[in-house]
Structure 1
Amino acid sequence: MKYRIILIMLIAVATTFCLFGADIAGFLTGHKYNLNGLYYLTVISYSGILFYLVTFLLAIFFLKKKVLKNNELILYCLAALGLGIPIGMWTIFVVALSWG
């Protein structure tokens, strides 16, 4: 059960980081260290993309350890890739436009 929660939380955090990375970066710029917001945006956005990749790899790893079933693997991989590819492309687009 805890393996499923880990995968679901990774997908949720990755989606939050990718979709709301600009808002989080703006908040951190105003309330934390006096860094350029682009650095925060870049790190947060690429962390979200990395979390999608980690979710995909963990799902395969859990299948090999016989923790997940084949149908659960398909569900988590489709969720990670189905959300990760379009949202990741959008995030890369936003970061590229922000950097100019």
Structure 2
Amino acid sequence: MWSLGLLQMDFFYRRKPWYAGQFIRMISPKFKPTKNSVLYFSVLLNKLKTKLLSVLVRDVESMFVNSSIQLPVKQGKPDFELMDNFIAELEAERIAELEAYLEVTGLSDCELT
């Protein structure tokens, strides 16, 4: 489930149900998200921040419910496989860049403490 902090309009993913207070809203998905789809949706949801910050807190829920995000689709349904693969590719690219950097700087054999 995602939480929406009404003061900063930031979305955060929570693995387990929880309760916070009056300045938090919870968004429950109607699907079982994967690790990568959580990342994909979190970015999309946080793109609504500017729009949500433009209204009064009392109007945020209405603005959110009436907002839309674009998803990749396949045969008329959200393409979760594409989302998972996209995030996995980004992660692999970043890890490769980091490993190359560590190799060049001589830090690839370091042990973090």
Do both proteins adopt the same fold according to a TM-score greater than 0.5, normalized to the shorter chain?
A: no
Higher relative contact order (CA 8 A, sep 6+): 1
Q: TM-score, normalised by structure 1?
A: 0.33
Larger radius of gyration between Structure 1 and Structure 2: 2
Q: TM-score, normalised by structure 2?
A: 0.31
Higher strand share: 2
